[in-house]
A and B are shown apart, each in its own frame.
Chain A
């Protein structure tokens, strides 16, 4: 089963401008965010065109966790990014 609740539209990701790995600026909302390493990694990966299922794979490998936990973490992180307006 794949984490498919969030489908991030490409144009939403194109609004994001990164400064290093952990600082991102949304050019439409004008909001700036300091990201933790995991959020930064995930967001960079999304911008690079990675699918949600691939993200889960990468998180699972990178942090050596089981698939269910990786799916949950990706989903929660995407929730947070949406709520904070990063992906608004």
Chain B
């Protein structure tokens, strides 16, 4: 079976890029923003969407944030073998050279099959096993202590009794967190029990108990070179948050102290590739490290739109394509997330559900019409 013709735009190298995490809903995933950024740098790049659900919103988009084709994938819980098997099927049709995983939960699976994919000519942008381990929610407190950076006390518990004991030691209110996703605040032991039941039902044990810290949220997105350096980064204060705590507006800050902390973290980890650092800071106090995410965040297309295209640079680096200078984001530049209603047809849903793949063409059609 002949493969779909790939794009031929990366300085005469034939490349196709695959991206995951394509749902821009209440809890927006980063993939669609990564796609949009890649198209800003490589308008004719062929982008394959690796989708976990036929209803992932960017599959219905008419803007630059949809893939050219989407393939239905097994859920991360199915494990690395199922992921590899499905990718092998897709590779019979697509000349994928790079995969940019955009969801925390799938990264261990991609790490497990990275060498097998490489043998097939597919490169994944992943941190090392050690650095990923160091930034896991359960190890982050230890890392911050080693670096002398403030972080909320966080402990892991395998059962409810331990969870209660730790919460009492820390003192209420505390956050109860799943090992990968979901966090609930608990002001009392009753709320702690309710939260633990709700989170463990979906994500299982262990759960984490974390000291509750108040303050403004500051996030840093960046691209690291793997040798302890940051190629470029952009720092924002999230100033509008949804009911589930997701930042729906952000403003660029120029804070040398925040930059220094980011540099220390990345240097310590010798981080490779995309990252997002999340902090809280109250006036007059230091930045408190909340999370390190081993991927681009959902707001990564904001810096791309103001001249700092980090996904674009990632692909430039991987392919050896000509580097576009990365601009410095200036304090006061801001984004506001805007939700829109995308029009679809049930036939599109049926196609994806039945065949496990669907071509999506509005952006390319628009591009050709304007050329």
Listed in ascending order, the chain A residues whose CB lies under 8 Å from chain B are 17, 25, 27-32, 82-85, 88
B253 adjacent to A30 (CB under 8 Å): yes
- Give the residue of A29, A83, A84, A85 whose beta carbon is less than 8 angstroms from that of B253: A29
CA distance A25 to B254 in the complex (A): 12
Known contacts being A28-B254, A30-B239, is A85 close to B283, with CB within 8 Å? yes
A31-B216, A88-B283 known; 10 other A-B pairs, CB under 8 Å?
Answer: A28-B255, A28-B256, A28-B331, A29-B255, A30-B253, A32-B239, A32-B251, A82-B284, A85-B283, A85-B284
A30 touches B218 (CB 8 A): yes
Which B residues, 207 to 246, have Cβ-Cβ distances below 8 Å to chain A? 216, 218, 236-237, 239
- Cα–Cα, bound, A86→B201 (Å): 44
Give how many B residues have a beta carbon under 8 Å from the other chain's beta carbons. 16
Residue among A17, A30, A83 making CB contact with B237, cutoff 8 Å = A30
Q: What are 6 A-B pairs with beta-carbon distances under 8 A? A: A17-B331, A27-B253, A28-B256, A30-B218, A31-B216, A32-B239
In chain B, residues 259-297, which have Cβ atoms closer than 8 Å to a Cβ of chain A? Answer: 281, 283-284
Smallest Cβ distance from B188 to chain A, in angstroms? 30
Whether A84 pairs with B283 at a CB distance below 8 angstroms is yes
Q: Which residues of B contact A28 (CB under 8 A)?
A: 253-256, 331
Q: Are A17 and B254 in contact (CB under 8 A)?
A: no
Please determine whether B283 and A29 come into contact, CB atoms closer than 8 angstroms: yes
Chain B neighbourhood of A17, CB < 8 A:
331-332
Residue in A28, A31, A83, A85 with the greatest tally of chain B CB atoms within 10 Å: A28
Smallest CB separation, B270 vs chain A (Å): 28
CB distance from B256 to the nearest CB of A (A): 8
A26 vs B37: C-alpha distance in the bound complex, in angstroms? 29
